[in-house]
Amino acid sequence: MASTGPMNKYDNNANHSRELRDTDRLSKIREKFAPKAETIEAVGGWLTESGIDPSRIELSSGRNWMMFNASVGEVESLLQTKYNYYTHASGQGHIACDEYRVPQSLSKHIDFIMPTVHFDTKIIDKPGQDQKAKKRDVPTNHQPGDPSNIAWNPKKGKTIASPNSPSPGVVYNLANCNQYITPECLRALYNFSNGTLAKSSYGIVEYTPQAYLQSDLNLFYANLARQIPSGTAPTFDSIDGGVDQTSMQGFNYQGESDLDLEYAIALGKYMKLGLAGVTILYSSGDYGVAGNGGQSFPGTCPYVTSVGATQIKPGASVTAPEEACETVIYSGGGFSNVFPIPSYQKSAVSSYFANHNPPYTATQYNNSRTVRGYPDVAANGANYVVAVDGQITLIYGTSASSPTFGSIITLINEQRVNSGKKAVGFINPTIYANPTAFNDIVTGGNQGCGTAGFTAVSGWDPVTGLGTPNYAKLLSVFQALA
């Protein structure tokens, strides 16, 4: 999102983004969304003329934010306003103003200024708040990575093997995939094999302090992915100060990371953070229509592919149709209150309402039929066999579904790159235009909020989206593209 004009005196962030500018595709994206050079000069000139020295002004790497440090008095004079300090009942403070002004000539260059009239600070728990109550309730104010964030973390099932019980007598094979999901089960479910070309990359976000343990990866390889050498590890790329910590250990520190990496490595084998041509996937949540404590973003963003959860039906074979996940977790899904329906999804959502109109009113959900529906797709999210903290245990969640779907997209990218093509990038328009490349899920639901939730039906639905991937069919679709 770089300016189409030359670098200027406000571009203090230039060196930080030099590597990004070297990528041709990113350069085009930056140019597409960059403000004009005259915008940067006009706003920067206004600030300097008002007494803000250029050394205090910095452009974001995308060149669409201009940041500067100033005293309250300076900003009050600049914006012709008065700031107040507001205190929430919790004791947390926030600084804001009732209104502000900018020169008329700058109105076309500025979308908004922060902090000003926005009261959007998240309320932090009081010290000493009753911990039992926090564990019972689905939290709404924790960030991903917080070990106490039960809404965002995967759900732990029974322990299969531990150092005190090293021989559980469980044989992992296709006959018991309805009880134990392994990489072999997922390959059978979605019709794909291991990647071998090493020509694509898969970046997985983990939020500090969550981190994997190499000993857990090795334990997983030894039990469920013997073709992978012990010691195989992902490439660590720190973003915004993230660290790969191992001093704090336990399921809430390693559960998410071990799950994501073990299955991504076992299914795709090769992994490195990709910065261009990226397909962005996000889990839809584990609490049905309740989302993750009311939070479903960024999965509801129309430029993200939201992934819901399915399960093999109890007692069924790995070749039988799956159903929406109703074991321990329920696939998150519903309709956005923020984002309008994207053009690529209009036909699918219209068909859903025409043929399967839910028995709810606007009191329960946004039934305007004009907003983004999610998830887009789904993958198995129950009974994953995972090595965590030296134990083999079962894990549940869309935290498992999303890496699984991502591994399949990575394998498709591998084949495209091998054919001299680019990575698929944003996939939503293509997958909605090719729904037959998915296994349609027509049973199960996503109860939550004291309701039965929505029901999986033929076609797209707000429980499992278009359904689960059929690798061979998806590969054919994407290989046919330029």
Name the residues annotated as catalytic.
256, 260, 399
Q: How far is CA 83 from the centre of its chain?
A: 36
**CA distance linking residue 403 with residue 204, whole number of Å:** 8
To which residue do tokens 């932090």 refer? 124
Q: Using CB atoms within 10 A of its CB, is residue 473 exposed (0-12), middle (13-18) or buried (19+)?
A: middle
Using alpha carbons, select from 53, 63, 66, 70 the residue that is nearest to residue 16: 63
Token output for 302: 């129309």
Strand, coil or helix: what is 378? strand
**CA distance linking residue 463 with residue 445, whole number of Å:** 6
387 within 8 A of 320, measured Cβ to Cβ: no
Q: What's the DSSP call for residue 22?
A: T
Token output for 269: 């084998």
To which residue do tokens 């100033």 refer? 70
457 within 8 A of 366, measured Cβ to Cβ: no
**CA distance linking residue 85 with residue 87, whole number of Å:** 7
Q: What's the DSSP call for residue 175?
A: G
The HSE-up count of residue 313 (CA atoms within 13 Å, CB side) is 12
Size of the chain, expressed as the number of residues it contains: 482
Triad 299, 305, 308: Cα angle to 5° = 70
**CA distance linking residue 218 with residue 223, whole number of Å:** 9
**CA distance linking residue 170 with residue 231, whole number of Å:** 25
Triad 377, 179, 447: Cα angle to 5° = 45
**CA distance linking residue 375 with residue 409, whole number of Å:** 16
**CA distance linking residue 190 with residue 319, whole number of Å:** 10
Question: What are the backbone angles phi and psi of residue 476, rounded to the nearest 5°?
Answer: -60, -40
The HSE-up count of residue 7 (CA atoms within 13 Å, CB side) is 11
Within 10 A of 353 (CB to CB), how many other CB atoms are there? 12
Using alpha carbons, select from 448, 180, 438, 406 the residue that is nearest to residue 290: 448
